[in-house]
Amino acid sequence: MKKLISMAAAGTAAAAVAMPAHAQMNDYDFSGPRVEAIIGYDITTAGSDSDNDINDQDDESIDGLLYGVGLGYDIDMGSTVLGVEGEYTDSTAKTEFSDGRDFEGFGLGRVDTGRDLYIGARAGYKVQPDLLAYVKAGYTNARFNVLARDGESELKDNIDTDGYRLGAGLEYAMSPNSFAKFEYRYSKYGEAEFDYGNDIESDRFDIDTDRHQIVGSVGYRF
């Protein structure tokens, strides 16, 4: 009997030690700096002020693969998380000729998509100890390269566009330091300028361009 009592006491003590350790392993902390690799689907479309209803060969959108990197810093406040973040991304989206003559104009002309810079903030809520649902908002500066060809050479001038970004997503803590994210974001660009090289810029002008992105990322939290 004494042996059984001793074994039971030992088992209870071991369980008491193991339970806090197990709870601690699953109580993920979303605080600290983070870095991530980003990939996803990118589509840019003409806004309502740039629709072309005359030529039905213009589908008024370009789409492609989005890829890039992101940095951020979060503060875990218990059930909520607040953070700041920045991104550098690029895209393979560009206009294409149809029937050898016409192309997808979507309001900016014949272009391919260049780099996109983003800085903003996010706020999240832990729906589970290892799962964060969040919303985000910030500033985005996207570049579109205007293409011109003479049959032998190609000239590219840049259009720099300014706008805002809104988004929402989920972040899953795969371990105390690694995470995966799934996110949708919408960007609206309302102003732009031409960059002609050698620090020559045009006057700013109004545009109406929308951008939709569905992305996934994996990262590491320090």
Mean per-residue pLDDT for 182-188?
98
Question: Which domain, by its residues, includes 172?
Answer: 29-221
Query: Is position 7 within any domain?
Result: no
Sign, CA torsion 201/117/75/137: positive
Q: Is the pLDDT of residue 106 over 70?
A: no
Query: Is 88 within 8 Å of 43 (Cβ atoms)?
Result: no
pLDDT tens, position by position, 58-84: 557 889 999 999 999 999 999 999 999
pLDDT band at 145 (very low <50, low <70, confident <90, very high): confident
Cα separation, 116 vs 133, in Å, equals 24
Query: Is position 89 within any domain?
Result: yes
Mean per-residue pLDDT for 52-61?
55
Out of 31-35, 126-130, 147-151, 185-189, which region has the weakest mean confidence (pLDDT)?
A: 147-151
Per-residue model confidence (pLDDT) at position 195:
73
pLDDT tens, position by position, 2-14: 443 344 344 434 4
Query: Is position 86 within any domain?
Result: yes
Query: Is position 153 within any domain?
Result: yes
Q: Could you give the number of structural domains in the chain?
A: 1
Query: Is position 6 within any domain?
Result: no
Instruction: Specify burial of residue 211 (Cβ count, 10 A radius: 0-12, 13-18, 19+).
Output: buried
Single pTM value for the model: 0.78
Query: Is position 12 within any domain?
Result: no
Query: Is position 216 within any domain?
Result: yes
Q: What is the CATH number of the domain that holds 152?
A: 2.40.160.20
Amino acid at 168: A
Query: Is position 19 within any domain?
Result: no
